[in-house]
Amino acid sequence: MSPSALNKDVGAYLDDPKNIERFINRLRDAVKIDSISGEPARRQRVIDMGEWLNQRLTDLGVTTELRDLGYEAGVFVDNVPVKLPPVILGRIGDDKNKKTVLIYGHYDVQPAAKEDGWITEPFELDVKADHKPGEKYDAEKRYGQMIGRGSSDDKGPILGWLNVLEAHNPTPQKPDEAKPKADPEWPTIPLPVNLRFCFEGMEESGSEGLDALIQKEANQEVGWFKGVDCVCISDNYWLGTTTPALTYGLRGLAYFKITVSGPARDLHSGVFGRAVHEPMTDLISLMSRLVDPAGNILVPGVDNVGPASTDELDIYEKLDYGLEDIKAAVGANIALSADRVQVMMGRMRMPSLSLHGIEGAFSGPGAKTVIPASVSGKFSIRLVPEQIKKQTPEEIAAKKPAEKLVDTVTALVTAYLESEFAKLGSKNRLTIEMLHGGEPWLEDPKHWSYAAAKKATEDEYGRPPDLTREGGSIPVTLTFAQSLEKNVLLLPMGRGDDGAHSTNEKLDKTNFVKGTKLFARYLYEIAEPNVGN
């Protein structure tokens, strides 16, 4: 194995306990600002958080620009329109001989309240003691966890980048920040790459206005992102709790609502049962024709994903995640296969169809004998670029058909359901709507940016990362990939059990410290000669 490219002083700075204490205190300050973007009445707190973050970036030598996105569409508090928090664009370094890396993160958080079941105040970072050698292990003690809303999603990762900046420029002497005692000890070190930052404050609430901004700034003549060589986003998680991950794919989504309507009003089943075509009977029959209990999608053309290549199979076989992990995560032994690789491929590289529920039918507890007049089934299909036709690796890399996958799948679903409905011989009416869709994203995991991240992970964690694809959508990923036409790397800091959108969200202290070093190592690996040339 080749030696680590990380600057030794930078590594030492990031390992120093006093510095780590200050990093944690800075995270505490960030968590304290309850920047919940989903509650318009508290929008000022998100803006406060943006200003706090902007100040820290400026202190660390970053040139910033706060982009005003105007007002949130259709949202008013006491009849007053509500401002969107600014997008913070940052820039440090303009050396033409260095690569330029664009970093994305979001400074808003999910809602949180103590009464939802938090064991601590969600906006007071609670740093648990480490497990001491010889101490009897007690999971309740949450050794080394830093519990607080935003700790892992996404303030911890953002601060990781700030820690890296500070390690190169260790004099952030501001009245509101304790001066690092060790200051004179640490040299100023040039960054190995040019950095660009894009930090938004509305990620948890739809990222209004962000796509347009990115598309505009991607202009290689005049845009802020001019000269960017690759993008790195730290806003997802490892598969499990022990092995780091690099994520190179996200499934897309097409969400459907199909409605069967018949009578003008709800009917009494005693009076009209077996006299008329019942919308529920038709709807349930249609929904049963979408997916089988083994997970196979029955809509012709939608499930046409070819077999995995040897390279791909290799990725799945190496994943540090097994049936026991699935069982632990879902709380039951219900994996679709006893073959670990099949299960992980089902989760990552296959499309899936989930039936979510029915609107308009009886859904309460107890018994009601009504025949509902109109019922709407809701289901969604997770999309992967390999659907519809087998693609060559070159086509995948070129992201060719992905641009229209939602439309293609919608057409296939519509044609199939209409044809199946005709077979029912019902006199009811069927309507099919695609409520919202998003294209899948798939990156070439052999790109130099991934190779750099892999090397950085091996150096920091002593093991190769899992190469993962995910189901949840991070829409900005696709926007960056398509606008910049550059490689995008998802480089998670937190673990699979961080509970990003749940109660008791946490980031493990080790993930914060080692994740920060991983970020630094990644930049140094990218800066190595021969990389990307």
Task: State the catalytic residues.
Answer: 108, 203
**353: contact with a copy of itself by CB under 8 A:** yes
Taking every pair of Cα atoms in the chain, the longest distance, rounded to a whole number of angstroms, is: 89
Only one of the segments 30-38, 202-210, 263-271, 475-483 lies at the binding site for a copy of itself (rule: CB under 8 A); that segment is: 263-271
385-424 CB burial, b ≥16 within 10 A, e <16: bbbbeebeeeebeebebbeebbebbbebbbebbeebbeeb
CB of 240 to a copy of itself, least distance (A): 13
Q: How far apart are CA 224 and CA 61, in angstroms?
A: 17
Report the SS3 class of residue 109.
strand
Residue with tokens 């194995």: 1
Write out the two tokens for 241: 């709790």
Residue with tokens 């609502």: 257
Q: Give, in degrees to the nearest 5, the angle at Cα 201 between 246 and 484.
A: 50
For residues 70 and 206, which CB has a smaller minimum distance to a copy of itself in the complex?
A: 206
**136: contact with a copy of itself by CB under 8 A:** no
Binding site for Zn ion (CB under 5 A): 153-154, 235
CB of 204 to Zn ion, least distance (A): 5
Binding residues among 313-332 for a copy of itself as defined by CB under 8 A: 326, 329-332
**77: contact with a copy of itself by CB under 8 A:** no
CB of 142 to Zn ion, least distance (A): 21
Only one of the segments 39-47, 213-221, 265-273, 513-521 lies at the binding site for a copy of itself (rule: CB under 8 A); that segment is: 265-273
Only one of the segments 100-108, 307-315, 427-435, 481-489 lies at the binding site for a copy of itself (rule: CB under 8 A); that segment is: 427-435
**354: contact with a copy of itself by CB under 8 A:** yes
**132: contact with a copy of itself by CB under 8 A:** no
Residue 20 interacts, among Zn ion, a copy of itself, none and using kind-specific CB cut-offs from 5 to 8 Å, with none
**363: contact with a copy of itself by CB under 8 A:** yes
Binding residues among 232-261 for a copy of itself as defined by CB under 8 A: 251, 253, 255, 257
Write out the two tokens for 153: 């999603």
- Best CA proximity match to 440, nearest among 413, 474, 466: 474
Binding residues among 458-487 for a copy of itself as defined by CB under 8 A: 470-473
DSSP structure string for 142-166: -TTEEESTTIIIIIHHHHHHHHHHH
Residue 153 interacts, among a copy of itself, Zn ion, none and using kind-specific CB cut-offs from 5 to 8 Å, with Zn ion
Residue 57 interacts, among Zn ion, a copy of itself, none and using kind-specific CB cut-offs from 5 to 8 Å, with none
For residues 180 and 351, which CB has a smaller minimum distance to a copy of itself in the complex?
A: 351
State the burial class of residue 216 (Cβ atoms within 10 Å of its Cβ: 0-12, 13-18, 19+): middle
**113: contact with a copy of itself by CB under 8 A:** no
Q: How far apart are CA 496 and CA 17, in angstroms?
A: 26
